[in-house]
Amino acid sequence: MRRRTIVLAGVFIMALGILSPSVQAQPKEVLIGGIWPLTGPNAPTGVECTQGATLAMEIINGKYDLNLPLAKAEGLPNLGGAKLRMIFGDHQNVPDKAMGEAERLITQEKVAALMGCYISGVTAPASQAAERRKVVFLDADAIAPTLIKRGFKYFYRVTQDDEIWFRDFM
């Protein structure tokens, strides 16, 4: 499990109350969708991402003496202690499935925000679906420069892209 995934999930949840129009004032529960490769060649990484997100959710929902965002109080303090619940989708490394999972999580599960997808080629269509529906999408791993050059209002990436990786390598 990556510590970065846990911390990013916590930071994402803190920002959620401000950024997403889907979050109502003082909800009892906030639903977050996570889309990762849970089957196929990248499944081990996708499973680790869901484990990290689940751990972050447990820390946020509980009360722990940890030096992590939102660990010291139960729930989301700016939303009246609302609990977090995550619902996961499997994109199977297939762009159309990623878009379908994003649509399903938004329209059927009514998530307030999405995170994922680990792979740039599936992050693009999933985040397009989120943008169309005005739902926040957090990308922590996909590194294609084109993802942030689309001018989306609801797409946030918290890692450098491969142009920066290449420049720093050289």
Determine the Cα–Cα distance for residues 158 and 25; give it in Å rounded to an integer.
Answer: 26
134: its two tokens: 């005005």
- Cα separation, 107 vs 77, in Å, equals 27
Comparing 14-18, 85-89, 92-96, 103-107, which segment has the lowest mean pLDDT?
Answer: 14-18
d(CA 116, CA 140): 7
Average confidence (pLDDT) over 123-141: 95
- Mean pLDDT of the 116-123 span: 93
**H or E stretch covering 139:** strand 136-139
CATH of domain 3-169: 3.40.50.2300
Mean pLDDT of 126-135: 97
- Tokens standing for residue 125: 């269509």
Provide mean pLDDT across the span 104-112.
Answer: 97
Prediction pTM value: 0.80
Q: Is the peptide bond before 49 cis (omega within 30 degrees of 0)?
A: no
pLDDT, tens only, 20-35? 445 555 789 999 999 9
> What distances in angstroms separate CA 108 from CA 29, 81, 138, one per listed residue?
16, 25, 20
